[in-house]
Each structure stands twice: as C-alpha cells, then as structure tokens.
Amino acid sequence: MKIGNNYFILFQNCIPTKGISRSIIADYQRGTHYFIPNGLYDLIGDFRLLTTNQIVEKYFDQGLTQEMFLEYLEYLEENELGHYTDTPDSFPLIEEVFETPSLIHDAIIEWSDYHKSHLSQLIKQINDVGCKFLEIRSFSGGYTSDFEEFVKLMRSTKIRGVVIYCNYIDNDLQDLENLVHEFQIITNLFLHSCNVDPITISAKPEIVITKTVLTNNNCCGYLGKEFNVNLPHYLESRNFNPCLNKKFSIDEKGMIKNCPSISANSMQTYIERSIIDQIKDASFQQIWKTTKDQIDVCMHCEFRYICGDCRSGVGISQKPRHCKYNPLIMSYEN
Ligand code: SF4
C-alpha cells in the first residue's frame, strides 16, 4: 500500500502506551510488545482521524517525510500490528472498561491457630464474597492435616485454586505428592526454608522445595521482567490498581486488610464483623482505584499497563520498592 487517501489503523487488540522516553505497542492477543519511538506514538493518535496523506501534510513541518512515514507503516504492517483501510469506523476501539461479577477475585490468608479454630466460618465468609483464588502463607508451620481440613471445606464453594506456602519440615515427599493430587484445587505448594537446593518434585500441580526463607511479608513486591500482556490485565490496570483491586488479606489475628503489607483498615476480626461488611466500606475500596497512572515513576513508564504493582513497604503513590527499571533512561539500574 502507498500513502494516499486511505487510513492506517492499529488492530483493536494492539494498544499503544506512551512512556517518558519511548512507547510500546502491546499486542494483547499474542501476549507480546514492541517498542516504538514517541514520535510514532503521537502520530497514532491521528490514525483514525486523518488519511495517511493528511498525516504527512500535518506533520511535514515537524520533520515527517513520506519516506519516514512509510517506514513506520511498514514496521507496523510487518509485525501485524495494524492495517490499511478506507473505513476506520468499521473497526471500533475496544471499550476500556473492567467489570467482573464477584466482589472479590483473590485473597491471601496468613495461617495461624486463630484460623484453625474458625475454619468453617472462614470458608463460608470467603465464599460469600465470591473469592475464586486463595493464597495461604504459613511462615512458621509445615504442611499439616489442618490444610487438608481447610481444603476439604472448599469443595462446595466458588474457590477454584489454592496456592500454599509453608515451612519444609522433613515431610514425606511421596505423601505430599499424593495429597496434593487428591485435592485438585491445590495448584501450587511451596515448601520454604529448606536447607537443600530448589527441587521441583511435581510440575502440575507444582510442588517446589526451596532454600528461600520466608519469615514475613517482605517476600512481597518482587516484580520481575516478565510482564502480563493480556487484555483483562490491561483493562484492569487502566481502571484500577492491578495488585489491590478486588483483593483482601487476613492476618494471623483475623484482621481484614487490603494486602498483607498494608495496615488493617478497621481493628475488627472477621468474627467480630464479617468480611463482606468490612470490604463493602468505601474506605476499604478506595485504594482499589489507585491506577499505575497515579504512581510516581510508573506514571511515566511505558510498561505501566503490562506490569504488576506492589504497595509493600511504600506509600500509596510510590514506585514499587523492588522495581529497578528507570523509564527515563530506558534500562534497569543495579
Ligand atoms: S517503573 Fe517499574 S513498577 Fe513502575 S510500571 Fe515501570 S516497570 Fe512497572
């Protein structure tokens, strides 16, 4: 195709994000992303409004030549990020809303004797808020029959997956493997604080023994260089905080929190006031609306809608403490 009285538009699932020094186009269908210069990002804003000819005319004074624009379009076409059309309105943009039917998507429980005395009550309340995924963290105890009792109670609930972290206590590995296979709802079992090198004894469900010592929630917040390039994550990140939205945690004393690293909102346990009542408070959900566009540094980062977030050890608008990426210089710092 040539530049003329036609339009060039990005595919609906290919969405650009501008950073301070460069931009990306994320292909949310194929789960990958491409870097583009900010100059091209600015042109993309006019793709649906102006023909390719009109774009060159408009930006000619700013140094855009036909050859340069054609090179940009060839790059986009070669990578299957966009296409020529005469009718851009026939390809409407994706509506950027994020809605799910349940009040809560996932929850983290810090395991303790307190919960062991209220297992049925706890499971009923977690089910009442529609929670689908649970993470159970035990910092000082091993895998015991208490977990099995808890997991058995989940059989008639909406919970679809459970990840368990607990101490390695010289368990019989074959027994563990048999148990995890019996309870299909357990997707991952991590046995931490072992004195041997990491061993994966089962891939699915995943059972991993690791030397990593977990004694508290400082384990939170390690955002790697792996990104979540998928449409639900993008839409959630555009509208909500991708780490805290539709999430709660319960500490060892039964207090309800937004996440393990954030202080309890009210000083009441789930026995004193139900999880659903505490979560429905506007003050509890306020933090769900803190998007990456409102967080220092992240707001200038081209990865902000494909990255996660973590509020562990930082204020509500501070960059996650373990992220080493500097969007200004476009590289990771030591
Ligand atoms: S600065 Fe770090 S945490 Fe923030 S969006 Fe970029 S990569 Fe993610």
Domain total for the chain? 2
Atom 8 of ligand 1 has which residue's CA nearest to it? Answer: 307
Determine the distance separating the centroid of ligand 1 and the alpha carbon of 101, expressed in angstroms.
29
Q: Is residue 144 part of a domain?
A: yes
Residue 51 shares a structural domain with residue 141 = no
Q: What's residue 174's pLDDT? A: 78
303 lines ligand 1 (CB under 6 A): yes
pLDDT digits (tens, 9 = 90+) for 103-130: 999 999 999 999 999 999 999 999 999 9
Of 1, 48, 4, 40, nearest in space to 22 by CA: 40
Q: Are residues 35 and 130 in the same domain?
A: no
Q: Are residues 192 and 274 in the same domain?
A: yes
3-state SS assignment for residue 124 = helix
Mean of all residue pLDDT scores within the chain: 91
168 and 263 in a single domain? The answer is: yes
247 lines ligand 1 (CB under 6 A): no
Q: What is the pLDDT of residues 131-152, one digit of tens each?
A: 999 999 988 877 777 888 888 9
* pLDDT band for position 307 (cuts 50, 70, 90): very high
Instruction: Give the integer Cα–Cα distance in Å for 183 and 191.
Output: 17
Is 260's C-beta closer than 6 angstroms to any atom of ligand 1?
A: no
pLDDT for 256 beyond 80: yes
Domain hosting 125: range is 106-326
Check whether residue 20 and residue 79 sit in a common domain. yes
Q: Which residues contact 261 (CB under 8 A, 6 or more apart)?
A: 217, 220, 221, 310, 311, 312, 313
Give residue 244 CA to ligand 1 midpoint distance, Å: 16
Q: Is pLDDT above 80 for 171?
A: no
Q: What is the pLDDT of residues 196-251, one digit of tens each?
A: 777 777 777 788 888 888 877 766 665 556 799 999 999 999 999 999 999 999 99
Domain-ending residue, one of 60, 90, 120: 90
State which of 222, 243, 304 you would mutate to test the pocket of ligand 1, scoring each by most atoms of that ligand within 8 A of its C-beta.
304
Answer yes or no: do 267 and 146 share one domain. Answer: yes
Percent of the chain with pLDDT over 90: 69
- The answer on 274 and 233 residing in a single domain is yes
User: Which CATH number fits the domain that encloses residue 231?
Assistant: 3.20.20
